[in-house]
Amino acid sequence: MLNNTLSNALSKVLNCQKAGKGSCEIMPTSKTIREVLRIMAENGYVGDVAEKKESRGSRFTVQLIGTINKCGAIMPRFPVKKGDFERFEKTYLPAKDFGLIIVSTQKGLMTHKEAKKQGIGGRLVSYCY
């Protein structure tokens, strides 16, 4: 068990995807994991994300649709300025305009494409392609 819950969640999603499973249950949960999964669902990398409340907390059930090649958390969370996204795209993504980097900004979590469009920087959280 790793110390980073986001890294644990994304590695579990990737392992279930590679094993050919149709869904994946993630526990423990956090607001950051919820938002990262929401962004991945909006961009077509995972299917429906359902949160189930339990007595000991909650868990996410993620429907896998077979479109993830690789995903992971970015540690440490590097700061990025509004014009420096290309450098990190070369590091974490295999090709230009392929995949997404999730960035934490003062306006919440968003993809690097949205952050470039709005002209804001932030801290890198995770990547997916």
d(CA 23, CA 17): 8
68 domain-assigned: no
Structural domain boundaries, residue 107? 74-128
Same structural domain for residues 49 and 86? no
25 domain-assigned: yes
16 domain-assigned: yes
Q: Where are the beta strands (DSSP E) in 10-121?
A: 23-26, 49-54, 57-63, 71-73, 79-80, 100-105, 108-111
Same structural domain for residues 104 and 57? no
Q: How do residues 49-70 score in pLDDT, each as one tens digit?
A: 999 998 888 999 999 999 999 9
Q: What is the pTM of this model?
A: 0.92
Same structural domain for residues 81 and 55? no
89 domain-assigned: yes
Same structural domain for residues 15 and 44? yes
DSSP state of 101: E
The CATH code of the domain that includes 52 is 3.30.1370.30
d(CA 19, CA 42): 23
Burial class from Cβ neighbours inside 10 Å (0-12, 13-18, 19+) for residue 103 reads buried
Q: How do residues 21-50 score in pLDDT, each as one tens digit?
A: 999 999 999 999 999 999 999 999 999 999
The CATH code of the domain that includes 89 is 3.30.1490.10
For the chain, the domain total comes to 2
d(CA 120, CA 105): 7
Same structural domain for residues 84 and 56? no
Q: How do residues 73-85 score in pLDDT, each as one tens digit?
A: 999 999 999 889 9
d(CA 32, CA 104): 9
22 domain-assigned: yes
CA distances to 17, 86, 95 from 67, rounded to whole Å, are 9, 23, 16
Same structural domain for residues 22 and 49? yes
Please state the rounded mean pLDDT for residues 104-124: 96
